[in-house]
A = this chain, B = another copy of it.
């Protein structure tokens, strides 16, 4: 194994100089720096992670807690995770993968053993035990999603309220006067799940502001339920000319149900969906969407965490990512009343 002493010898300097070249923690003359860097390259030196962690009290590793069972769309989960890994690498950190299988014990373990310096917790929900443990451990952390009480915690999420507003605004701009929100199954809202509630309030606020008639339907993603909801909306509420859908798994059956009811999109009915962007091109016509910005959420979470680790203050308690609307072919002005 190549050690720092080997590099030092090869470059004709002391080990500490090599260390300082690597860390940039003190000024080094250009000449010395170059010689050291050359030696590092020639010898193929990589500092021993354990030794470094031991001496510096920094493992340069962050933990990522991924939920086993989740309300989140799985590909989104993975996208966020990958973005986190990439962003962490940009900050010279690695990512340790943790599940909830060990319960909160895993957090205690990796924190106490100094395996990681900090942690990102995904898919945080209102009644989540993990934030408590994080506070107790004093472990720097960033949550993706919001617990019931985010006080003293750093949280990142999409601004679902603004996202719903964006959908409504687009439809209002097109001339629609009555729109319906097709939301997650009843249970999700009642459980107090944060994002569902925030979408709803954003929808209500925006429709009120724009003077639109508004309907809300919770919708189970099962084929039958979706079909029933579609049928009911079309038959009982002919005034509704546009749908905002915040329920990823319900989208494919919904589009199929509309086709079955001879409702053309966007001719008879416009559809805007909130969810993973891939959904857009999987549907026909291509959906107008407000995508979940997985990439940005992951990066932002890492950046916030790094700020914390570097002792930068103050860190914002909650970060709501601004939504963007990506136009597709599923929205158009409402049909003319003929």
| Contact (Cβ within 8 A) B94 A95 | no
Neighbouring B residues of A106 by C-beta, 8 Å: 89
**Would A115 and B94 count as touching, CB distance under 8 A?**
yes
Closest B residue, CB atoms, query A77: B78
Interface 1/0 per residue, A93-126 and B, CB below 8 Å: 0111111011000101110111100000000000
Q: Output the least CB separation between A128 and chain B (Å).
A: 19
Assess whether A225 is interfacial by the CB under 8 Å rule: no
Q: Which one, B78, B86, B89, contacts A78 given CB within 8 A?
A: B78
Q: Which B-chain residue is minimally distant from A60 (CB atoms)?
A: B115
Docked pose: A77 CA to B1 CA in angstroms: 34
CB distance from A29 to the nearest CB of B (A): 27
Pick from B44, B53, B68: contact of A50, CB under 8 Å: B53
Q: Which residues of B contact A50 (CB under 8 A)?
A: 49-54, 59, 114
Chain B CB within 8 A of A66 CB: yes
Q: A77-B78, A96-B94 are in contact. Are A49 and B115 (CB under 8 A)?
A: yes
Q: Contact flags (1/0) for A206-247 with B, using CB distance below 8 Å?
A: 000000000000000001000000000000000000000000
The 8 closest A-B pairs by CB, nearest first: A50-B53, A46-B112, A50-B54, A49-B115, A46-B113, A50-B50, A74-B75, A97-B97
